A and B are shown apart, each in its own frame.
Chain A
Amino acid sequence: MHTPITEGLTSVILLQSFTVFPEYFISISAIYVLIVIVIITYNVYGLLIHKALSECLALILLMACYLIFNDYDVLVSNTLSFHHSIINDYLTYVSKFLICLFTAFYFVLISSSLKEQKLTSFEYLLIILLSTLGLLLMCSSGDLLTAYLSIELSSLALYILAAFRKTSTYSIESGLKYFITGAVSSGFFLLGSSFIYLNSGSIYFDDFITLFERNKWSFYPPNLLEEDMDPHFHLMILIYKYFNLEYTIWKPWPEGSPLVDYSFIEIGLAFIYFSLLIKIACAPFHLWSLDVYEGSPTSSSFFFAAITKLSIFVLLIRLAHTCFVTSSSSWHLYFIIIGVLSIFVGSFGGLKQRKLKTLLAYSSITNMGYALVALGTLTNTAIQMLFFHLIIYMISGLCTWSIILLLRLKTKNYGNKYSKELGDIALLRKSNPALAFAFSLTMFSIAGIPPLIGFLPKMFIFLSALMMGYYMVIIASAVLSVIATFYYIRIIKVVYFENLLVGKLYYPINTHITLLISSLIFSLLFLFFNPTLIQLLFFDILQTPSNVSFYCLTKI
């Protein structure tokens, strides 16, 4: 009996291991929307469907939220699917849910301002949807190849978003700058991945855990593990005991034996961290972000600042806290240094800045600095506080950017000026007192004044760094955050107490958008008194020891 050698590999993706239903839904609906709109607008030139389309895409993302919420059992099963390249755990679940929810809010918030910005073509919204798809895949990626492809999917869409206003030179310039820095950082990501592959022979995160983190989780003795475990796991241990097998995974690593040679891993990790830090615009690598945020259309820079940062941090948490903790002594200090440097640059750079979007870019650099200090501390609490900080950052980013986007000046030369300066919001108190109050609340929250939620994550990050004994870091960043408070307060001063006789007039805002904004602003105040709601989101993002070993054993 001769069987042909060229028979296919036995790889079947079962329905029970198909854990990417939300992404699948979003990609199919994006393609469907593309086809339908092309059919609708085939012969009709200049049909304006941007408002309906943005609400439709918000609906798609809310449905994806529901899908994620509904698939809790599958998505939080602590397993790996698609041949180890998709991770299903709580961190993925929460971050995917938050990204979908906030992007849906984002679509609602920008829907009425697209016409004023002259971004009415449907490709703009569709590209944002596909970029969100890339962000979702980045959260759940379980190997370096999937991570690279999803970073490329999201960031190629972002370059297009930055350059979308073809008639403006600033927009084209910012798109080109973003593209060049992004290409350099992608190249470094690939170089780092190849170095890691050279040393370990694998690109999968779970292989990194088994190779390099062996001594981290093999320290837990079996009797400690048997107490609270899943029944599935009990069965496995019973089988091990029945067959008298030596379950090698819990065996403590012998003391003093030579560990792995980390030299190549460290260089590769340095390159990967470098490229990811370029993507989130931290202080030595931040120079592109100022020009890009200022030059690109306001709704695009809204997306860059508010939505895209979370998933890159999820990838950083996976690499730094899950896969390569053992080699952390060589690089975790650099995270803290870069964090303090970005707080420094963000605080002092914004002092003399009068353009609003550049000011918010500096504010974003400062916030990324706090997040990096938490990431460099690398304790479990610090990682949880990092996640807390990012959620609050996204909420307050949505508030600030949407208010800036929705302030439409009543001028005669309509739409000639796209970027806003501090003078444009002078005496907002007189023309729109509610919006002025909301804006000042948001600014107080970002500055970290106590009765608002922005105070809590900052304080917890400082406390978690204090537990590890980084006193100088805390003193420096606290002093620098006081300096950063200056320009937040100055915005409030401009809004309320500017010594002018004539203010500017603005168009009113739609009702459903005001409902959304006021609920977001209310959450800034409410969450301070009831932070348990957010704690419910992030308390379980790190795996308990039993989960880690479970994670290494079962592969769908």
Chain B
Amino acid sequence: MEKRTIRKLRGAAELVTDAVDAATTEAQRAHEELARRPYAVLARIEPIAGPAKAIESLQFAITRIAYETVRAGNAIVGAVVTTALDRLEREPARPGAARPRV
């Protein structure tokens, strides 16, 4: 494969990784903001305010773990693809390797 093509592929892989990361962060922000609303109402009701706060903390911890898992998975996939393309780029071009046999 041409080095120029490999570089473009690496760029595309990095861009996809960046996009997934940014989208995950934005989705998490919107998700947490929406999820906070019912807890804000429950926090005003004295008898259940305490337990509601505990459940809210638990829910948010689980939510963060889920989003962090997505981000970590994305980073791992990105790193694997980039490493593979780096190795491909370092390999010396074999003359005639891509030519079909007659």
Partners in one complex: no
B residues touching A (Cβ–Cβ < 8 Å)?
none
